[in-house]
Structure 1
Amino acid sequence: MEDQPLATALDSLAQIPAPFDSNQFTLVEQLTQWARRRIDERVFRPGMRMPSIRQLAVDKGVSRFTVVEAYERLVATGYLESRRGSGFYVREQRSPVLAPKRSRAVPTTMDVTWLLNAMLQTTVPEKGPGLGYLPNAWLDGEMLANGLRSVARRSGALLQYAVPQGYAPLRQQLQTRLAEIEIAASPEQIVLLSGVTQGLDLVARLHVAPGDAVMVGDPAWFQMFGRFAAQGARLIGFPYTSNGPDLDALEALAKEWRPKLLVINSALQNPTGTSLSAAQAFRILQIAERYDFKIVEDDIYGDLCPMGASIARLASLDQLKRVIYLSSFSKTLAANLRVGYLACEAGLARRVADQKMLVGFTTPEINERLVYQILTEGHYRRHVERLRQKLDQAREPAARKLERVGLRLFAEPNAGMFLWADARRDSSTIAAAAHEAGFLFAPGALFSPSQTPSSWMRFNVANLNDPLLFDFLARQMDA
């Protein structure tokens, strides 16, 4: 009986309805929300003059009264200030929505924080070609709901603190899964995390001191740049070719900078979609040994690889001597189900678990039990196979559509969700125009550790189904 309230709550969570339709808002409310989003996302920055009442009324197809009412509401809520005879201006925000002041000038282009915020607010997949996760319709909500109900029926242990390394049965199950890709790791070598991001944070805290060099792909997953930079690291980007990392350039940079870490995707690299061959993996390990640095292998997309694919994991060749292996279930089960894991040498695993306790105590065992339930019931393999099939069906048509509007593909991946495409002009400019048109793009500058302007963009093949998107891209390519 004591578990019944928790079971009821979990069952309710599995049935939460989708967000309400924006058409239920009045024109004033819709215009107010439009302006607030752009201020919160720093498209409209403090001190910037807002469009005139007449201009905005024409642009949005509404009356001047609607614009006046919306602006007045924004003044009342502290977003704008009215300057008599001059117009309305964005007020300096005192809420935590905006980034803290820095000693350097605030950039005038889109940044990583902008994209992360925008990704979390995009609810219509077809409007998010730059999103980094699969649409809800592709995932199995019923499988998660059934798992939650099963966990709730055995929830007495959830009232206690979890153990630092994470739920032991799940770590034992992960030992079996890692063995399937020829990585030998005991449960004592595995630490459960809230995702790959937490794993990178813990590794940075343990291995990186201010001034240390960390080698990352250029391009690569943008969120890790900020994490290592916050630790005081010097980010050194190595280039990619259509066949994977440029290993001659990587070795030259390793020789020059003597890095502490190399961070790399072995399978379906984000954003290029390339994967390591056995020869490439062997050479990377040789370079790491020659210049004495550790490798952080991010295999978050590994489950999206075809069964039997000839993709080499660095950890399987090295057996966790120099390699720290990271993965997660957020891309295949649910973005909001924050369960990842790290596998490494046993002594380092204990240090990672200690650091995890100091930083955030333990990870929620309810999430870990849910993943264990799904893995052991045998549903996960079939679910992932369905995802692979859907991606395979979407990838080729998406690639051809992008080429028809004038974009050039970096590579033609045979798996995964990403295409990396060249627009031959600054993609940040295209992304800004797309944002106004209601689309979320991922411009190439955000995937570079130097954040320099780029003509490249990342596309998610699962979210390229809106004809209006390709109409927009065609106009931009002709501009």
Structure 2
Amino acid sequence: MTNTPVSSSLSLSRDSGEPLADQIVRLVAGRIEERLLRPGARMPSIRQFAATHGVSPFTVVASYDRLVAQGYLDSRRGAGFFVRERPQPARHMAAPGPSSTATLDIAWLVRNLFRQAPMQLSPGAGVLPADWLDGPAVANAMRSLSRQNSAGLLGYGAPQGFLLLRQQLQHKLLEIEVEAPPENIVTTLGVTQALDLVAREFCRPGDTILVDDPAWFLMFGSFAALGLNVVGVRRLADGPDLEQLAELAARHKPSLFVINSVLHNPTSSSLSAAKAYGLLRLAERFEFTVVEDDIYADLHPGGATRLAALDGLKRVIYLGGFSKSMAPNLRVGYIATSHERAQRLADRKMLCTLSTSDIGERVVYKILSEGLYRKHLDRVRGRLDAARPRALRQLEALGLRLDPAPSAGMFAWVDAGRDTNVVAARAMREELLLAPGSLFSPKQLASTHMRLNVAALQDAGTIRLLERALAG
């Protein structure tokens, strides 16, 4: 294939409003995808392409560089640009669901949550649908950040986290009566890293960590990989079963107890004041530290009891973040604790990742500091309050029992009266992702329960698929 046909086959428009470099990239990429430009074909030189199409050499350079970055062209020093061999696109196949006799494990659910395209319906997901989140606020914050002096964006972030964000978090925590100056706060890559850092710093292989039962499944595997013994404490409608907690604490002498105090995952229940005081007394008696995972805090309408507020961050380590309410992709979380623990955790963070991304933290800071987040939360909570009653009625009509009936948050914990591993396997064959109760058990025990996201149950087609999976 000669150079002239390659170049002359492109028709650029000055009147479309689309930048010339974008047109060149789109048109060349299209011809490569259509195999009209075959692998190994030499592209016109920059000067020749520019002369043929009446564009500047700088435009051609920018276009070729982007085509190289996107895998369409190879740049060979001294020889020019050549069409690169493109991998054949894999035909989409539904991720294999387990058979009715197979064990669904945590990795199965996480793999399917992160499938790229096409994504199945996800009433088992733990995040809000993308169109419920404030994409324009995130995009505007990123554009604003791009206009700042780039020198501050190119180095490592501060090990303890972006200072202005930590100062903003101090004000945010005061709203729930948790006092934590910036030096007592460490930013993290979401609550997932926060839990990992805390476990690594304050536990040793063989130690016991107590968790809610049921609870967020991902931490079970993470803690087990550190050689820790994970033991569940029965979760009731108003918090943990304190009698069982006392028994387990006496038997295992745990280092930590990890708990969702507000909008517990997966039940959406919240801790009562009486249970909070009882829990703190047991923590003091048996000398374990409480890790309060408050990732769903901002979806609560207010007035909930926080262990960190009652305790003053003496025996409680508080975790928060923005993946559930702002944007999962920002991966911005934080730890609030005593000054001594914060220093230890910042050092531990340096050993693991040096620092977190200053860019994501600056984006979150801008959204928080401009008051946009508060308005966004009002909209999301209102939308959830409107969606929840209808979703719960539909679930009950399918024969599912609410255990308990949620009054806030995005989750419903339902009893299907049958093994939900089997239900989830059937659903997956229909491209419907469910979260069976076995995954939320520290021992991965079979369960008749499952977690459903009310925000993902607004489409009649989703309800029909769920009904079909339940019917068998």
| TM-score of the aligned structures, taking structure 2 as reference length | 0.78
Distance in 2 between the 1:478 and 1:217 partners?
A: 31
1:206 counterpart (201, 216, 222)? 201
Confirm or deny that 1:239 pairs with 2:234. yes
CA distance in 2, matches of 1:109, 1:251: 32
Q: 1:417 aligns with which of 403, 410, 429?
A: 410
RMSD: 2.1
Partner of 1:229: 224
Which of 280, 286, 310 is the equivalent residue of 2:303?
310
Which residue does the alignment assign to 2:283? 288
Structure exhibiting the larger radius of gyration computed from Cα positions: 2
Question: Is 1:395 aligned with 2:454?
Answer: no
Instruction: Indicate the residue corresponding to 1:189 in structure 2.
Output: 184
State the AA in 2 paired with 1:136: A
1:378-399, Cα deviation, whole Å (9 max, x unpaired): 1110001101001101111111
Equivalent position of 2:327 in the other structure:
334
Alignment partner of 1:454 is 2:447: yes
How many angstroms apart in 2 are the aligned matches of 1:241 and 1:419?
Answer: 15
Instruction: Look up the equivalent residue of 1:168 and give its one-letter code.
Output: L
Q: SS where residue 328 of structure 2 aligns?
A: coil
Q: Is the 8 A contact 2:120 2:431 kept in 1?
A: no
Give distance in 2, aligned partners of 1:122 and 1:286.
Answer: 46
- Runs of 4+ aligned residues of structure 1 deviating over 6 Å after TM superposition are 122-126
Letter of the 1:144 counterpart: V
Deviation at 1:468, TM superposition (A): 3.0
CA–CA distance in structure 2, aligned partners of residues 351 and 459 of structure 1: 38
Deviation at 1:152, TM superposition (A): 1.2
* In 2, Cα distance between equivalents of 1:195 and 1:32: 33
Q: Is residue 431 from structure 1 mapped to residue 424 from structure 2 by the alignment?
A: yes
Q: Does 1:131 align with 2:125?
A: yes
Secondary structure class of the residue paired with 1:270: coil
| One-letter amino acid of the counterpart of residue 411, structure 1 | P
Contact 1:126 1:464 in 2 (8 A): no
Show CA shifts across 1:251-307 (max 9, x none): 22112211110000010000011001111111110010010000100000000110x
Residue in 1 aligned with 2:145?
151
State whether structure 2 residue 232 is matched by structure 1 residue 173: no
Q: Name the amino acid aligned to 1:227.
A: S
Amino acid at match of 2:174: A
Query: 8 Å contact 2:400–2:416 — kept in the other structure?
Result: yes
User: Could you tell me which residue of structure 2 aligns to residue 34 of structure 1?
Assistant: 93
* Counterpart amino acid of residue 113 in structure 2: M
Match for 1:238: what amino acid? V
| Separation (CA, whole Å) in 1 of partners of 2:291 and 2:238 | 20
Match of 1:121 among 112, 115, 121: 115
Letter in 2 for 1:147: A
TM-superposition CA deviations, 1:343-394 (whole Å, max 9, x none): 1111110110111011111101000111111111111100011010011011
- Cα distance in 2 for residues equivalent to 1:471 and 1:371: 38
Q: Residues of 2 paired with 1:429 and 1:333: CA distance?
A: 33
Runs of 5+ unmatched residues, structure 2: 1-21, 23-87
Q: Give the CA deviation at 1:125.
A: 8.1
The whole-number CA distance in structure 1 between the counterparts of 2:268 and 2:220 is 19
Contact in 2 for aligned 1:126/1:466 (Cα 8 Å): no
Please tell me whether the aligned partners of residues 125 and 463 of structure 1 are also in contact (alpha carbons under 8 angstroms): no
CA distance in 2, matches of 1:402, 1:455: 15
Aligned to 1:161: 156
What is the identity, as a one-letter code, of the residue corresponding to 1:196?
Answer: V
Q: Which runs of 5 or more residues in structure 1 are unaligned? A: 1-11, 13-28, 45-106
Distance apart, 1:209 and its partner CA: 1.2
Relative to 1, partners in 2 of residues 1:401 and 1:122: Cα closer, same or farther, differing over 3 Å?
farther
1:375 aligns with 2:434: no
Q: Secondary structure at the match of 2:274?
A: helix
Contact between 2:423 and 2:470, CA under 8 Å: does it hold in 1?
A: no
8 Å contact 2:237–2:270 — kept in the other structure?
A: no
Determine if contact 1:125/1:135 at 8 Å carries over to the other structure: no
Judged with a 3 Å threshold, the aligned counterparts in structure 2 of structure 1 residues 395 and 122 are, in CA distance, closer, same or farther, namely farther
- Looking at structure 1, the residues matched to 159 and 151 of structure 2 have their Cα atoms a distance apart, in angstroms, of 19
1:322 Cα deviation after fit: 0.6
Counterpart-to-counterpart distance in 1, 2:405 and 2:117: 28
In 2, distance between residues paired with 1:471 and 1:189? 49
Q: Show CA shifts across 1:456-475 (max 9, x none).
A: 10000000023233333334
Shift of 1:478: 4.0
Structure 2 CA distance for partners of 1:142 and 1:392, relative to 1, 3 Å: same
Q: 1:474 is aligned with what amino acid?
A: E
1:128 aligned partner, one-letter code: S
Taking the aligned partners of 2:127 and 2:159, their CA distance within structure 1 comes to: 28
Query: Which of 250, 253, 258 is the equivalent residue of 1:255?
Result: 250
Q: Counterpart of 1:20?
A: none
Tell me, what secondary structure is at the counterpart of 1:273? coil
CA distance in 2, matches of 1:314, 1:204: 19
Instruction: Flag the 1:365–1:30 CA change in 2: closer, same or farther, 3 A.
Output: closer
User: Hey, what's the Cα distance between the residues in 1 that align with 2:261 and 2:442?
Assistant: 19
Q: CA deviation at 1:476?
A: 4.1
- Quote how far apart the aligned CAs of 1:115 are: 0.6
Match of 1:398, SS state, is helix
